[in-house]
Amino acid sequence: MSHFRAVSLMILVTLLWSMAGVVTRHLDSAPSFEVTFWRSGFNALALAIALTLRRGPGLWTRLLHSPGVIWISGICWAIMFTAFMVAITLTTVANVLVTMALGPLITALFARVFLQHKLPVATWMAIVTAGLGVTWMFFQEGDTTLSLIGTLVALAIPLAAAVNFTIMQHVGLDRGRGGAAGGKPAQDMLPSLLIGAVISSLVTLPLSLPFQASVHDLGLLSLLGVAQLAIPCLLVVRLSRELPAPEILLLSLLEVIFGVAWVWLWAGERPSANTLSGGTLVLGALVANELARILRLRKEKEKVKRVCHGL
């Protein structure tokens, strides 16, 4: 796959991810937990079909005997799937997306605390700046208590993502380290997506009864489950073999911009001035941190090349 095609597909992924907010704003009557149940259910159905076609019927036997890390990862995915839909019923889409954008920085912080990874000064500065940006959004211009609760629910998304990634790093199952130590192949983590979707739908099922979704709602929620979750999740796993992690992180920030634009243009949900200013701080910190990382990697490569030429 060419670099241009890989980048184009990653932009498509962010476009698909970003449509959740605007689609949800056009639902008729489904409450938050029912919205989560149907979206996760349709996501689980789509993933089950796709993974069965790709891996064969043996997928289900292997799934039941998956190692513990797969199930832990699945629980993290379930938290992310559930918290997102609940959060956007409690606060604005912009607040949720900006809060989600903290994921890379929380992951870096978790890696420092639990894996003893050293963080460069630029990352520490980005963490502080992003924290100030989120604080600014909710302690200026009288944000409501409901909005604050919604943002706290949304905070579960980057926290669960950070736990997920940190655990995979710890056991050496991520693609970058698989096979590097002991010659073991990288663990297939795709089934954890399916597990997460199933757990999310089962947990929210009793909270969804009695069902209130209209036929119109079910159509939109099936769109979210398949096109907004299943397809982009499968695509991003494929693209992780083509694009470096820093570039994927930078491109994924487009979800915030696209998501805010969609609800502004087609749902009349205009972000407040403090959300825009706080969000700018968060995104600016993330971009600066990732650019600094790319520069550090380039310098390290140049240093290695000079040493190799010297030998």
User: What is residue 232's predicted lDDT score, i.e. its pLDDT?
Assistant: 93
Instruction: Tell me the pLDDT tens digit for each residue of 292-302.
Output: 877 887 888 88
**Tokens 């910190």 identify what position?**
285
Nearest residue to 248 (alpha-carbon basis) of 17, 58, 39: 17
Work out the angle between the directed axes of helices 231-239 and 190-208 (0-180°, nearest 10): 160
At 145 the pLDDT is: 57
The two three-digit tokens of residue 208, written as one number: 């969804």
pLDDT at residue 199 tops 70: yes
> Which of 2-16, 102-116, 118-132, 136-150 has the lowest average pLDDT?
136-150
Tokens for 308, please give them.
């190799």
Please say if the pLDDT value at position 36 is more than 70.
Answer: yes
Place of tokens 């989600």: 100
CA dist 214 and 242 (Å) reads 41
* Mean pLDDT to the nearest integer, 227-255: 81
**Measured distance CA(29)–CA(221) in Å, rounded:** 12
What pLDDT, in 10s, does the model give residues 59-77? Answer: 888 888 888 888 998 999 9
Using one digit for the tens of pLDDT, what is the confidence trace for 245-301?
Answer: 667 777 787 888 888 888 888 888 887 777 788 778 878 887 887 788 778 878 888
Contact 79, 192 (CB under 8 A): no
Q: What's the pLDDT score for residue 207? A: 92
Confirm if 263 and 21 have CB atoms less than 8 A apart: yes
Q: What confidence tens digit (pLDDT) does each residue in 14-32 have?
A: 999 999 999 999 998 888 8
Segment 46-61 shows an average pLDDT of 89
Give the pLDDT of residue 203: 95
**Nearest-CA neighbor of 130 among 155, 167, 165?**
155
d(CA 243, CA 248): 6
The DSSP secondary-structure symbol of 230 reads I
How far out from the chain centre does Cα 213 lie?
26
Q: For 98-113, give the DSSP string.
A: HHHTTHHHHHHHHHHH
* pLDDT for the residue 225: 95
Ranges of each domain in the chain:
3-310
